[in-house]
């Protein structure tokens, strides 16, 4: 047996867990970070473009909500499926498939002639991202030994923050200088450039399952669809409407059936034992709350400067920089602090900062509010987000065995995306009950009523973060990555 085979259990058994060759850490980090940058940029680019899309293609608040939620709904529904496909057919291969689908759907969104076509393209984008996103964390985990992983997660979070930071500015500049369609064309050259690089430089690996859990995939996808679809429709129909109640109830029943099936499935796509780990459950609760507050607030705040204060898209994008630029700077620092301070303290502090910032914005926002009055709360929100990104990823990885990273990542992403859908739906409902698009003051009234709800949910998330163990022990039987000694 070669010396290389002694360095890692994963290289000895490529079918069950590990890569078929030694991973290239630098190349892996660069490729997955570029892919995450593209998806992060896409999320907030769309927010800044909503008023222009509404003026060009028409549509109500609900149709605008669907341009955001069609992506998020598809993303949330298929995340666990995407992770399972990567485990079964190869993470590198499925990463490439997700990247190809996302890139093609971006071009379709740019060419969309109607709001319906745009929503459909956004749904396909979400499907591509659902395959791509959970695999980035697994590929990163495999490429870096534990001693270097926290720093790599910090860079991963910082690049995501860069996409968040540039999203509103790039979106505003593109919408004002060219047209909203070009916010989607931006993804196409990035995707085209990444496809051959991923094929050549990433290392193939698979998860522990040797077959696809088709009943589990079907129950999880349909259950998540019913739940999230009912949440999205609640804004237009009301929470008491029969279609909303029926959709949510059906989703919950199907998800219960999914959990029952996973308990006895021969090759479960989501081992329920993951949730017995306090760190895994608490981190997912906190991440769900964080995405509730973030997505719901950004959906409204991205329109505030244009709709309530009458600014053009570029000026509006520039004014969001105190919020959106903070993760670019703070996330790498948070990654470096994980091993010293612990994920628990960083996540709790981040949730409290973000919630405090949103509460402050709700109190001071008005059509004539001076920009200087809202800079500090915007910065609080951004720093708070940054303190959650890398530590939450680290806490999830610490709570599971390496071969379970794909399943854990898919579950975590699905849970927090459902939180994002719920945040947009709930805050849009509160906004509609208290305000409208008719006048600047009406918009501000709705915003001021919605933001405290986001702050309250973030406070609950902070409490959940305090339940994360300060130092999580390695899961039983854990095997390690290249260069580490296995305790198993």
- Beta bridge partners, 19, equal 205
Q: How far apart are CA 72 and CA 392, in angstroms?
A: 20
One domain, residues 309 and 400: yes
One domain, residues 122 and 219: no
Q: How far apart are CA 210 and CA 242, in angstroms?
A: 42
One domain, residues 259 and 332: no
Tens-place pLDDT, residues 412-468: 777 777 787 778 778 887 888 788 877 888 888 888 899 999 999 999 999 999 988
One domain, residues 271 and 136: yes
One domain, residues 315 and 250: no
3-state secondary structure of 205: strand
Domain that holds residue 260: 214-266
Average pLDDT rounded to a whole number, residues 16-22? 50
One domain, residues 144 and 231: no
Contact present, 284 and 411 (Cβ < 8 Å):
yes
pLDDT above 90 (res 341): no
Q: How far apart are CA 188 and CA 190, in angstroms?
A: 5
One domain, residues 201 and 277: yes
Query: Is residue 46, in this structure, part of any structural domain at all?
Result: yes
**Stronger pLDDT, 246 or 381, i.e. the higher one:** 246
3-state secondary structure of 104: helix
pLDDT above 70 (res 175): yes
Structure tokens at 386: 């940054």
Question: For residue 36, which of 88, 98, 105, 81 has the smallest C-alpha distance?
Answer: 98
pLDDT above 80 (res 349): yes
Query: Is residue 102, in this structure, part of any structural domain at all?
Result: yes
pLDDT of residue 9: 37
Q: How far apart are CA 152 and CA 140, in angstroms?
A: 8
Q: How far apart are CA 65 and CA 290, in angstroms?
A: 19
One domain, residues 246 and 370: no
CATH number, domain containing residue 375: 1.20.1250.20
One domain, residues 249 and 332: no
Query: Is residue 9, in this structure, part of any structural domain at all?
Result: no
One domain, residues 373 and 420: yes
Query: Is residue 218, in this structure, part of any structural domain at all?
Result: yes
Query: Is residue 309, in this structure, part of any structural domain at all?
Result: yes
Q: How far apart are CA 235 and CA 212, in angstroms?
A: 36
Which one of 222, 250, 266 terminates a domain?
266
Query: Is residue 484, in this structure, part of any structural domain at all?
Result: no
Q: On the CB side of 341, how many CA atoms lie within 13 Å of its CA?
A: 16
Q: pLDDT band for position 309 (50/70/90)?
A: confident
pLDDT above 90 (res 170): no
3-state secondary structure of 19: strand
Q: How far apart are CA 234 and CA 244, in angstroms?
A: 6
One domain, residues 233 and 311: no
Query: Is residue 137, in this structure, part of any structural domain at all?
Result: yes
One domain, residues 241 and 282: no
Q: What would you report as the CA-atom Rg of the chain, rounded to the nearest whole angstrom?
A: 21
Structure tokens at 187: 């993804």
Which one of 245, 266, 287 terminates a domain?
266
- Look at the chain and report how many structural domains it folds into: 2
pLDDT of residue 99: 93
**% of the chain residues with pLDDT over 70:** 80
pLDDT above 90 (res 249): yes
Structure tokens at 126: 């979400």
Query: Is residue 315, in this structure, part of any structural domain at all?
Result: yes
| Beta strand spans in 4-46 (E) | none
């Amino acid at each position: 047996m070669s010396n290389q085979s002694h360095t890692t259990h994963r290289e000895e058994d490529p079918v069950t867990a590990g890569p078929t060759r030694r991973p290239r850490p630098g190349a892996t980090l660069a490729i997955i970070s570029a892919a995450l940058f593209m998806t992060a940029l896409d999320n907030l680019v769309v927010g800044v473009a909503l008023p222009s899309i509404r003026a060009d293609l028409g549509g109500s608040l609900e149709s605008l909500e669907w341009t955001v939620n069609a992506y998020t709904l598809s993303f949330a529904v298929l995340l666990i499926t995407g992770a399972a496909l990567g485990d079964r057919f190869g993470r590198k291969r499925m990463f490439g498939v997700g990247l190809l689908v996302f890139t093609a759907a971006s071009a379709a969104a740019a060419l969309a002639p109607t709001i319906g076509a745009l929503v459909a393209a956004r749904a396909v984008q979400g499907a591509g991202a659902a395959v791509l996103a959970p695999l980035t964390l697994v590929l990163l985990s495999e490429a870096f030994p534990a001693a270097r992983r926290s720093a790599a997660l910090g860079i991963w979070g910082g690049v995501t923050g860069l996409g968040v930071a540039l999203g509103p500015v790039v979106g505003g500049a593109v919408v004002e200088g060219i047209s909203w369609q070009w916010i989607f064309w931006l993804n196409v050259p990035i995707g085209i450039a990444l496809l051959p690089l991923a094929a050549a430089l990433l290392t193939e690996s698979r998860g522990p399952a040797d077959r696809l859990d088709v009943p589990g995939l079907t129950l999880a996808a349909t259950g998540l669809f019913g739940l999230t679809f009912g949440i999205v429709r609640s804004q237009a129909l009301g929470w008491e409407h029969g279609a909303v109640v029926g959709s949510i109830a059906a989703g919950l029943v199907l998800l219960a059936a999914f959990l029952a099936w996973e308990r006895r499935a021969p090759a479960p796509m989501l081992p329920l034992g993951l949730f017995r780990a306090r760190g895994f459950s608490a981190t997912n609760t906190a991440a769900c709350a964080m995405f509730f507050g973030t997505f719901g607030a950004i959906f409204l705040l991205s329109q505030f400067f244009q709709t309530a204060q009458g600014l053009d898209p570029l000026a509006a994008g520039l004014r969001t920089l105190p919020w959106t630029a903070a993760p670019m700077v703070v996330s790498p620092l948070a990654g470096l602090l994980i091993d010293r301070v612990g994920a628990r303290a960083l996540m709790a502090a981040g949730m409290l900062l973000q919630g405090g910032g949103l509460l402050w914005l709700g109190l001071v926002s008005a059509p004539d509010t001076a920009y200087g009055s809202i800079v500090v709360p915007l910065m609080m929100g951004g720093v708070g987000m940054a303190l959650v990104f890398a530590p939450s990823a680290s806490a999830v990885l610490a709570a599971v065995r390496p071969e379970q990273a794909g399943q854990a990542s898919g579950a975590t992403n699905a849970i927090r995306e459902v939180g994002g859908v719920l945040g947009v739906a709930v805050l849009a409902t509160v906004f509609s009950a208290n305000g409208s698009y008719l006048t600047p003051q009406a918009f501000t009234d709705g915003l001021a009523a919605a933001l405290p709800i986001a702050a309250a949910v973030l406070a609950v998330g902070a409490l959940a973060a305090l339940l994360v163990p300060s130092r999580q022990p390695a899961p039983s039987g854990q095997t390690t990555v290249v260069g580490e000694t296995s305790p198993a």
